[in-house]
Chain A
Amino acid sequence: MFMLIFMPLFRTNWLLSRQALAECRKIDRQYVTEEELMRVNIWFAQIITDLGRSLQVRQVIVATAITYFKRFYTKNSFRNTEPNLVAATCMYLACKIEESPQHIKAVITDMKTIMQEKGEPFSYDNPKVAEMEFYLLEELNFNMIVYHPYRSLMTLAQDLGTKNEDVHWAWYVINDSYRTDMCLLYPPHVIAAAALYLQIALKGGAQYGDYSLTSMNTANNSSVAGVTTRGAKRGAAAAASNNNNNNNNINTSVNETPKVKDIRLWFAQLNVDLEQIIDIVQEIISLYKLWSEEDKQNEKIRDILNKLLK
């Protein structure tokens, strides 16, 4: 049996149960629905991503900034804070922590441009962001190092022997997972396994005649959504039957192609709860659904934000 060694010092104190998370959001839930709150989270993750792109920082920094943002809002409500300021500060701190410090002015200038494009003013200056940094640090309990699924993904993919271009897929899924609450609920290696699983489910789909995958080259979000949804559903079913196979008789799957069997065995041997993987996969699928609607209903987010922040 193989043993994979994951982060020896992953701090579990930042992982919440769904109940605890719901409790954290009680104040905001008085004003908006659960689904609307999901949209708000997607919205701010997008703002932080845009800011990161504009500052030309690495993906890991964006991921760290979004994680800070989410952790901050497990202790505070949108209603009582100014999320745009928090978002900019998260990016500023994340750059520092990931050893690519950005000038505070640069962060503010880029944030202003981005918010202008979105039709919202960003009217904070240096001292405000610097002051916010203090509060942010405190709310983060000074835990600044964040572990991300990317490294686990590389370890897992290497172990499985996947090709490099395939891993890109899982990589994009991980990027997208930051728009959900997954980084608050599950440790990074489980999210990595789920992303890899989604990718394999897609590959499996291609084997069984789902050709839409082969036309996919780049991460066009809307089409990713479509394909992922289809592939993942099939994959989720496969995982369920995989579970049964393992419980009843592992030899029942002899007539499968060797490659598929390998992957199933591999996942079965992985020291990760399959229930959790399925939960993450499902969550990401619903993200894509919501997200693709987002394009059409850009106005809707305004209404939600007005409800939430006024």
Chain B
Amino acid sequence: MYSFQPPEEEELQIENKYLKEKKIGEGTYAKVYRGIERATGRTVAIKKIKLVQTEIGSQGIELSAVREVKCLRELRHPNVIELIDIYSHKSNLKLVLEYLDSDLEMIIKDKSILFQAPDIKSWMLMTLRGLDHCHRNWILHRDMKPNNLLVGKDGQLKIADFGLARDYGDPHAKNMSPQVVTRWYRAPELFFMPSQYGYAVDIWSVGCIFAELLLRTPYLAGESDLAQLELIFKALGTPTEEDWPGFSELARDMKFQKYSRTPLQVHFKAAGSDAIDLLEKMLAYDPNKRINTREALLHSYFRKLPRPTPPDQLPKQQKAQENAIQQKELNSKPPTRELSNKRKAQETNNKGEKKIHCS
């Protein structure tokens, strides 16, 4: 009585639109290929999503894949990765995404590149514009970090990896997981296991990215959740009830050493007063007082000279390791899991530098 006729013809048309070149990465739920859009010659990334097979059989499409599609379908902005096409074939789902060959983490790490103040302003501007677009469309990214900010050949920065993103339309949503955002970029309120939080968590992450751009090393690179919180308090002072109303209630069962607040200017000597002011507002303890994307974009930092560098004149890597990026996007792990060994090694390496900035 019933037979489903998937629109095969349409699929073939889409297949014919793109030329698959080579596999550039594989993750738990997807394979990524580099391809070319036949009509325009533009390079694209084709992400082939597999069905999840568990011991009890098929579970349908993986949640992070669903999240990614769900969110990207709602977004279109020069600073957000574009979902160009999407089609299903047999039991595979294929996403055609923009292809970008670099990311901000690679750029920060490449010590042969020199950053000027206008460059940092330009990256911050693009990040905040993209994030503003997400927030205005009720989408929380929940995994903002340099690694997820892709950079194209034209210098445009684009927010990618919406595998943890969710829509934040329902202000009464009470089932939100606090296990989000890679630890170093995780806002302090998330460590207190809230079931409800908001756009401010993304802003905190952007604050950490801002600091990282200024320091050229991760700002708050904690080794465990508790150490992370300790590190935040050490850097920004242990919050008082005034800084963060309700904090003493949150931290009732925990003992924290009382650190006093050192002015940010001490650690960020090269930064101008506007930059410091913006950074301070992004790293405000009270999520309700933390600056939002709108206010941040209107902040005097962006209105005063020097002007941000035009994207195409931004410093870029000499030889971008083209495979690395899409692969990383795939491998980005849910933050609850342990960091990979490679990361751990980096973390240890960073310890020395950390001391300089945080003691």
Q: Is B93 an interface residue (CB 8 A)?
A: yes
How many contacts between A and B, using CB within 8 angstroms?
84
Find chain A residues with CB under 8 A from B51 CB: 130
Find chain A residues with CB under 8 A from B137 CB: 8-9
Question: What are 9 A-B pairs with beta-carbon distances under 8 A?
Answer: A9-B136, A82-B1, A93-B60, A105-B56, A125-B57, A138-B87, A138-B88, A144-B73, A145-B167
Choose among B60, B70, B91 the residue that contacts A104 (Cβ–Cβ < 8 A).
B60
Q: Is B58 an interface residue (CB 8 A)?
A: yes
What is the CA–CA distance of A246 and B245 in the complex, to the nearest angstrom?
A: 49
- Is the CB–CB distance between A99 and B176 below 8 Å? yes
What is the CA–CA distance of A93 and B69 in the complex, to the nearest angstrom?
A: 13
Find chain B residues with CB under 8 A from A138 CB: 6-7, 87-88
Known: A130-B60, A133-B60. Is A82-B2 also a contact (CB below 8 A)? Answer: yes
Report the minimal beta-carbon distance from B142 to chain A, rounded to whole angstroms: 11
- Is the CB–CB distance between A134 and B91 below 8 Å? yes
Report the minimal beta-carbon distance from B186 to chain A, rounded to whole angstroms: 19
Q: Is A137 an interface residue (CB 8 A)?
A: yes
Given contacts A105-B56, A126-B58, A130-B51, 5 further A-B contacts (CB under 8 A): A82-B1, A104-B60, A131-B58, A147-B169, A150-B170
- Is the CB–CB distance between A99 and B169 below 8 Å? no
- Is the CB–CB distance between A99 and B166 below 8 Å? yes
- Is the CB–CB distance between B6 and A151 below 8 Å? no
What is the CA–CA distance of A251 and B167 in the complex, to the nearest angstrom?
A: 46
What is the CA–CA distance of A99 and B91 in the complex, to the nearest angstrom?
A: 23
Choose among A99, A105, A125, A145 the residue that contacts B74 (Cβ–Cβ < 8 A).
A145
Find chain A residues with CB under 8 A from B300 CB: none
A residues at B contact (CB < 8 Å)? 7-9, 60, 80-82, 92-93, 96-97, 99-101, 104-105, 125-127, 129-131, 133-135, 137-138, 142-145, 147, 150-151, 309-310
A144 nearest CB neighbor, chain B only: B70
Report the minimal beta-carbon distance from B30 to chain A, rounded to whole angstroms: 15
Find chain B residues with CB under 8 A from A137 CB: 61, 69, 88, 93
- Is the CB–CB distance between B61 and A133 below 8 Å? yes
Report the minimal beta-carbon distance from B315 to chain A, rounded to whole angstroms: 34
- Is the CB–CB distance between B70 and A134 below 8 Å? no
What is the CA–CA distance of A147 and B58 in the complex, to the nearest angstrom?
A: 29
- Is the CB–CB distance between A144 and B2 below 8 Å? no
Report the minimal beta-carbon distance from B185 to chain A, rounded to whole angstroms: 21
Q: Is B86 an interface residue (CB 8 A)?
A: yes
What is the CA–CA distance of A104 and B58 in the complex, to the nearest angstrom?
A: 9
Give per-residue flags for B98-131: 1 if the beta carbon is below 8 A from chain A beta carbons, else 0.
Answer: 0000000000000000000000000000000000
- Is the CB–CB distance between A101 and B63 below 8 Å? yes
B95 nearest CB neighbor, chain A only: A142
Find chain B residues with CB under 8 A from A81 CB: 2, 4
What is the CA–CA distance of A277 and B14 in the complex, to the nearest angstrom?
A: 42
Give per-residue flags for B151-192: 1 if the beta carbon is below 8 A from chain A beta carbons, else 0.
Answer: 000000000000000110111010110000000000000000
Find chain B residues with CB under 8 A from A145 CB: 70-71, 73-74, 167, 169
- Is the CB–CB distance between B61 and A144 below 8 Å? no
Find chain A residues with CB under 8 A from B66 CB: 96-97, 144
Choose among B7, B87, B170 the residue that contacts A60 (Cβ–Cβ < 8 A).
B170
Q: Is B224 an interface residue (CB 8 A)?
A: no
Closest 6 CB pairs of A and B: A130-B58, A130-B60, A144-B70, A126-B57, A133-B60, A82-B2
Find chain A residues with CB under 8 A from B346 CB: none
Q: Is B59 an interface residue (CB 8 A)?
A: yes
Find chain A residues with CB under 8 A from B170 CB: 60, 150-151
Report the minimal beta-carbon distance from A147 to chain B, rounded to whole angstroms: 7
Known: A8-B136, A99-B176, A145-B167. Is A134-B73 also a contact (CB below 8 A)? Answer: no
What is the CA–CA distance of A8 and B59 in the complex, to the nearest angstrom?
A: 34
- Is the CB–CB distance between B69 and A144 below 8 Å? yes
Best-buried of A101, A105, A142, A150 by chain B (most CB within 10 Å): A142
Choose among B4, B87, B138 the residue that contacts A135 (Cβ–Cβ < 8 A).
B4
